[in-house]
Structure 1
Amino acid sequence: MLSNEQRAHDLAITTAKLLAEEQFELALRSNKDKVQIDVDLYSTYVKAYKAALNALNRDFN
């Protein structure tokens, strides 16, 4: 059985991955010659982890 921390980690990894993919897709669709992609994966992971862990602890404890 997974702990809430493990579940939160999985959700945070998925969230960070999807955000990065979305930014890459937007860059590919851009008509600009040069596109800079700024994604802070660690910050995104930490925010998503904390939010997921709070929700999981609230709902499953």
Structure 2
Amino acid sequence: MAGGAVSVVLGVLVAVLWHSPIVEATGLPRLVGFVAFRGAEAALLWGGAWLCVRGWNGGPGPVEG
């Protein structure tokens, strides 16, 4: 759960506070930077939420085979 929480916090920080400075620092065209970094932000938020839920539910279950 801790890893998920860190990912969510980083996703929020990147999405809200650091998005424009990162896009400007890369030198990419604004549209390309916007799309690429919004995708990365969505991945951080979705992945962090997934990790939190997985941790809350007890982690991976036993391997059947």
Could you tell me the TM-score, scaled by structure 1's length?
0.41
